[in-house]
């Protein structure tokens, strides 16, 4: 069918049938999918202590990254 289509020997109806079949095959391969439900509960508030801990971790990571990069002379 593809060779005939490339050769220009397919009618519009044949072309539509090929497109429908291709769409059905693609749907079969990918299968039905569903998105997860949207959360309904509010996000928990971040405590001041948690914020400070994250800031410390980021500072440590930046210091480690700077130490890992050699300075050019």
Read off the pTM: 0.34
User: Do residues 48 and 35 lie in contact, with contact meaning Cβ atoms separated by under 8 Å?
Assistant: no
pLDDT tens for the chain, residues 1 to 73: 667 666 767 778 888 888 899 988 888 888 777 788 998 999 888 888 888 999 999 999 998 888 876 666 5
Query: What count of other Cβ atoms lies within 10 Å of the Cβ of residue 5?
Result: 14
How much helix, strand and coil, in percent to the nearest 5, is found in the chain? Answer: 60, 0, 40
């Amino acid at each position: 069918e593809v060779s005939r289509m490339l050769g220009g020997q397919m009618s519009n109806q044949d072309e539509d049938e090929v497109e429908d079949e291709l769409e059905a095959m693609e749907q079969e391969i990918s299968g039905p999918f569903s998105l997860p439900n949207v959360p309904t509960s509010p996000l928990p508030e971040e405590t001041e202590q948690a914020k400070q801990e994250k800031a410390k971790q980021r500072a440590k990571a930046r210091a480690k990254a700077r130490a890992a990069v050699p300075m050019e002379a």
